[in-house]
Amino acid sequence: MPPTPAVDLGVFPRGFRWSAATAAFQIEGSRTADSRGRSIWDDFVDTPGAVRDGSTAEPGPDSYRRWADDVELARALGLDRYRFSISWTRVQPEPGAAPRREGLDYYRRLSDALLEAGITPFATLYHWDLPAALEERGGWLDRDTALRFEEFAGVVAEALGDGIRHWYTINEPVSTSLQGYAVGTLAPGRQLLFGSLPTVHHQLLAHGLAQRVLRQSGAAEVGIVNNHTLVRPASAGEADQLAAGVYDLLHNRLFADPVLTGDYPDLAAFGLPPMPVREGDLALIAAPGDFYGVNFYNPTTVAAAAEGSPIPFEIVPTPGAAVTGFGPEWPIVPEALTELLVSFRDRYGDRLPPVVIGENGASFPEPDVATGEIADADRIGYLAGHIAAVGRAVAAGVDVREYTVWSLLDNFEWADGFTQRFGLVHVDHSTGTRTPKRSFHWYRTLIEEARS
């Protein structure tokens, strides 16, 4: 086992925040409780073969009923902030319908308890659980979904905005567009390839609309968070370099450019259709955020696709890199995070607001039942390496304000079901029993040392 990378906490500014995250569909369970409406993820998990182990999200950590346990874990960990998401379908089972008081009361109890524990609630308004009724009308391919999201933001802001004042609007629009609509490995499971591109614009528009609503309601901090990756060509060859450029455009620039510069990159140069932009859209999308959220897990090595492929690139293993429980798909290269953050600073300059690392973490094989403390040295090494990488970016002049571990709890890992465990806390998904892993205690100690 390689030694745990050293972390120079001295480079982090005073007041730097330490956080951990979860998402509603992955931890809450209680699909039928209080008439939670049906989302695209309910449809996805009910599709035979869609989820790797055939599992559903029930009961999982059962956080809808065990929210107090989660707050106590966050308090014991010493978090500055706890990132969680608000289920659209638990609050508003049908788009446009009256909100469900029971759902709003749940998030009120959670946020009030966090505040009482000295932890800032940092809520995500949309973490992939689109109401199924909206998907039936076109989902994120349809501009109307952005308008319905604006309404949902208003409902939540009015009911909860006095207690929750820090917000992520949309989580990882790239994952929804590319995996959900382009290749179908995530909900809603469509396989439209480049026909999925309108979902990019409609999600970014939804962000702009929601940000405006939340600001008007008195929010202290609002921003979007996307999954970003450092793209590396597989070789110095022209074909691989071009393929990497296309992938970087699709995964990174297509989402960051309009938010940070007010315009999309030149899609026509890559043979792609224009976005369905209407007058005023880009001004909304590019309205300055209080932060820019970056979720980072791994770099991506890209090669030119074989002749005849419907897409011009292929993701290939990263040479010499260790991997997480996902295998070659998730290489471990902490220095790639430093390089990514510095590249954002260089590309966007003073248009880049303070950066928040909204998710960073790793899954490794672990037992379903914990008979004692899980000695997850691989996870500790991953987290230490990436926290050190953030520190190097800070030392290089990147204004990073917060680091967030994904995840506080082992949870339902989307299409991988319960086969992947990201948590600082082990969860027995048959009983809900929570057992802090060694990484939990390591992160708590790091937070304590950072404050000393």
Report pLDDT digits (tens) over 92-125.
988 888 999 999 999 999 999 999 999 999 999 9
pLDDT of residue 32: 76
Fill in the DSSP letter of residue 131: B
183 occurs within a structural domain: yes
1 occurs within a structural domain: no
39 occurs within a structural domain: yes
Angle 377-395/438-451 helices, nearest 10 degrees? 30
49 occurs within a structural domain: yes
Considering the chain, what percentage of its residues have pLDDT values greater than 90? Answer: 95
Query: Is 348 a residue whose pLDDT tops 70?
Result: yes
pLDDT of residue 4: 87
Instruction: Report which of 31, 95, 88, 28 is spatially closest to residue 62, judged by C-alpha positions.
Output: 28
How many domains are there within the chain? 1
Query: Is 2 a residue whose pLDDT tops 70?
Result: no
2 occurs within a structural domain: no
Q: Retrieve residue 291's tokens.
A: 């932060």
Report pLDDT digits (tens) over 350-375.
999 999 999 999 999 999 999 999 99
Predicted confidence band of residue 3 (pLDDT cuts 50, 70, 90): confident
Query: Is 323 a residue whose pLDDT tops 80?
Result: yes
- The C-alpha angle with vertex 416 and arms to 412 and 417, in degrees rounded to 5, equals 35
Q: Retrieve residue 338's tokens.
A: 């430093």
C-alpha to C-alpha distances, 368 to 356, 427, 431, nearest whole angstrom = 32, 8, 11
**Contacting residues for 60 by C-beta, under 8 A, at least 6 apart:** 26, 27, 28, 29, 411, 412, 418, 427, 429
CA distance 220 to 167: 8
Report pLDDT digits (tens) over 143-156.
999 999 999 999 99
pLDDT of residue 1: 55
4 occurs within a structural domain: no
Q: Tell me which H or E stretch contains 359.
A: strand 355-359
Q: For residues 63 and 126, is the Cβ–Cβ distance under 8 A? A: no
Q: For residues 361 and 422, is the Cβ–Cβ distance under 8 A? A: yes
DSSP string computed for 156-208? HHHHHTTT--EEEEEE-HHIIIIIIIIS-SSTT----GGGGTHHHHHHHHHHH
Considering the chain, what percentage of its residues have pLDDT values greater than 70? Answer: 99
Fill in the DSSP letter of residue 64: T
Report pLDDT digits (tens) over 372-398.
999 999 999 999 999 999 999 999 999
pLDDT of residue 261: 98
Q: For residues 344 and 252, is the Cβ–Cβ distance under 8 A? A: no
Instruction: Report which of 209, 205, 211 is spatially closest to residue 223, judged by C-alpha positions.
Output: 211
Q: For residues 168 and 179, is the Cβ–Cβ distance under 8 A? A: no
Residue 172: active-site member: yes
Q: Say which residue the tokens 């369905």 belong to.
A: 276
Would you call 14 helix, strand, or coil by DSSP?
A: coil
pLDDT of residue 26: 98
Mean pLDDT over each residue of the chain, to the nearest integer: 96
104 occurs within a structural domain: yes
Residue 359: active-site member: yes
Query: Is 34 a residue whose pLDDT tops 90?
Result: no
CA distance 434 to 425: 6
Task: Look up the CATH number of the domain holding residue 439.
Answer: 3.20.20.80
Query: Is 239 a residue whose pLDDT tops 80?
Result: yes
Report pLDDT digits (tens) over 414-452.
999 999 999 999 999 999 999 999 999 999 999 999 999
Report pLDDT digits (tens) over 286-313.
999 999 999 999 999 999 999 999 999 9
Q: For residues 234 and 301, is the Cβ–Cβ distance under 8 A? A: yes
What mean pLDDT is predicted for residues 51-76?
96
373 occurs within a structural domain: yes
Q: Which domain holds residue 309?
A: 9-451
Options 359, 366, 402, 413, the catalytic residue = 359
Q: Retrieve residue 181's tokens.
A: 């609509």
Look up the pTM and report it: 0.97
Predicted confidence band of residue 33 (pLDDT cuts 50, 70, 90): low
Options 28, 135, 172, 402, the catalytic residue = 172
